[in-house]
Amino acid sequence: MALGSYRDVWSVRTIRHVQLLGLLARIPQFGAGIVLTVHVVEHLADAYAAAGVVVACYTIASGIGGPWRGRLLDRYGLRRSLLPSLVVIPVVWSVAPFVGYWPLLPLVVVAGLFNVPISSVIRVVLIAHAPAGRQRAALSLDSVVVELCFMVGPLLAILAASMWGTRVTLVVFWLASALGTALIAWLDPPLTRADRTADEHTRGWVSVPVVGILAAVATAGFVLGGTEVALVAAYRAMGTPEAIGLAITVWSLGSAVGGLAYGAGHRRIPVPVLLAVLAVTALPLAFLTSPWTAIPLLLLAGVSCAPLVASTVDALGTLVPERFRGEAIAWHASALTAGASLGPPLVGAVMDARGWQSGFVTTGVVGLVVAALVAVAVRTARR
């Protein structure tokens, strides 16, 4: 594998700085979500359903605000588009942990609308600054960084909440995330290549291939969200709920390994193929018998996660003109979030009726069907 491609990417000063500052912005975001759930259950409502409503309000608002923020990126640049969020987010999260349940709901909606889609911002920067022929490697490296943040963030958050309490932890984590975002805004890297060809005459960016990519991304979110809730049900049924955290870590590790391998390779893999692999590798999880037999299956199930995210962002970066790229990649994040939000309730309903094994079957079948539809639609559009 051409590991030198990662060396070429990391040697770019702007990419190196943005990724390191992105850790400060991303890790607290990944951890704050689980602390918010614990905060609502322990201090406000004593019910997971109520906590789910709070998280859903925040998630939906973030999904709405992401494309809006991406459009501002295209129109006004990085620093000016992030300034409103850098004012609103610290204020909201300095107040929200100290109010009751009902006042918390509108506050999390405001926080979601002004939330910075930090991964989208970083990916736009990566596309603009990646060396020639290294865009896929840059995006694959970023997907691996996201997996590492996903593993580290919740762990640090729970540890901090046990020492400081949920209120202080929420304030500290969101202020830290805002600080990382502010430093990226201060760096203010260009979002377009200096040698780009003019595309001002282009009036839009939506096409059949782009819609197909976004459909694949939303389906990937559905598969991942559904698989996660099915894992929780499976481990509870096996009488080992304490091993759920280990299962998620192993799954994420498989994704990180797959992302590194994909970025170091020489060939692009079509998005429908990666989605089909993600779906197929979820099916064997229906035959879990113990936490130990799950380890190789979870590693396998994770292998195509990071490559799928990287390949879809890479495809959008190629298909969408630069003047619309921020908005398109923000829609990518919203599609992934929407799919991940739909997966747990729908798969959960199936499992309630037919058992936990049906959860993995459902995610696999849905993923395969959409992968086939996307492949046919894109091929037809090209013809």
3-class SS at 121? helix
d(CA 80, CA 72): 8
Residue that finishes a domain, picked among 145, 167, 190? 190
| 214 inside domain | yes
DSSP letter for each residue of 220-267: HHHHHHHHHHHHHHHHHHTT-GGGHHHHHHHHHHHHHHHHHHHHHSSS
Q: What is the pLDDT along the chain (383 residues), one digit of tens a residue?
A: 456 788 889 999 999 999 999 999 999 998 888 888 888 888 887 766 787 788 888 888 988 888 888 888 888 888 999 999 999 999 999 999 999 999 999 999 999 999 988 988 999 999 999 988 888 899 999 998 998 898 888 888 888 988 999 999 999 999 999 999 999 999 999 888 765 555 555 667 888 889 999 999 999 999 998 898 888 888 888 888 778 778 888 998 999 999 999 988 778 889 999 999 999 999 999 998 888 888 999 999 999 999 999 999 999 988 888 888 888 999 998 899 888 888 888 888 888 888 889 999 999 999 999 999 999 988 887 77
d(CA 272, CA 48): 36
Pair 15, 49 in one domain = yes
314: its two tokens = 């890479």
Pair 270, 145 in one domain = no
Pair 165, 19 in one domain = yes
Cβ-in-10-Å burial (0-12, 13-18, 19+) of 287 comes to exposed
Q: Where are the alpha helices (DSSP H) in 40-77?
A: 48-76
Q: So what's the pLDDT on residue 380?
A: 82
Q: What CATH number did the domain enclosing 372 receive?
A: 1.20.1250.20
Pair 97, 53 in one domain = yes
Q: So what's the pLDDT on residue 153?
A: 87
Using CA atoms, how far residue 77 sits from 81, 121, 320, in Å, is 6, 11, 17
* Number of domains forming the structure of the chain: 2
| 126 inside domain | yes
Rg value, the chain, Cα: 20
Please, what is the end-to-end C-alpha distance for the chain in angstroms?
Answer: 34
Residue that finishes a domain, picked among 159, 190, 221? 190
| 198 inside domain | no
| 199 inside domain | no
d(CA 11, CA 66): 30
Pair 263, 164 in one domain = no
| Residues 195, 128 contacting (CB under 8 angstroms) | no
The residue assigned the tokens 């490559």 is 307
Q: Between helices 357-382 and 325-354, what is the axis angle to 10°? A: 140
Residue that finishes a domain, picked among 190, 225, 260? 190
Buried b / exposed e over 303-337, threshold 16 CB at 10 Å, is bbbbbbbbbbbbbbbeebbbbbbbbbbbbbbbbbb
Average model confidence (pLDDT) for the chain?
Answer: 88
Per-residue model confidence as pLDDT tens digits over 273-287: 999 999 999 999 999
| Residues 206, 326 contacting (CB under 8 angstroms) | no
**Contacts for 159 with CB less than 8 Å, ≥ 6 apart:** none
Pair 181, 230 in one domain = no
Pair 15, 147 in one domain = yes
| Residues 189, 129 contacting (CB under 8 angstroms) | yes
Query: In the chain, what is the greatest distance between 2 CA atoms, to the nearest angstrom?
Result: 61
Number of Cβ atoms within 10 Å of the Cβ of 376: 12
Residue 53 domain boundaries? 1-190
| 196 inside domain | no
Count CA atoms closer than 13 A to 165's CA, side-chain side: 6
Pair 185, 230 in one domain = no
Q: So what's the pLDDT on residue 197?
A: 55
Q: Report residue 35 CA to chain centroid gap.
A: 18
271: its two tokens = 């998005």
| 153 inside domain | yes
133: its two tokens = 């022929």
Pair 213, 126 in one domain = no
Per-residue model confidence as pLDDT tens digits over 352-372: 888 889 999 999 999 999 999
| 197 inside domain | no
- pTM of the predicted model as reported, rounded to 2 decimal places: 0.84
Pair 184, 259 in one domain = no
337: its two tokens = 């979030």
| 195 inside domain | no
Pair 280, 177 in one domain = no
Pair 317, 282 in one domain = yes
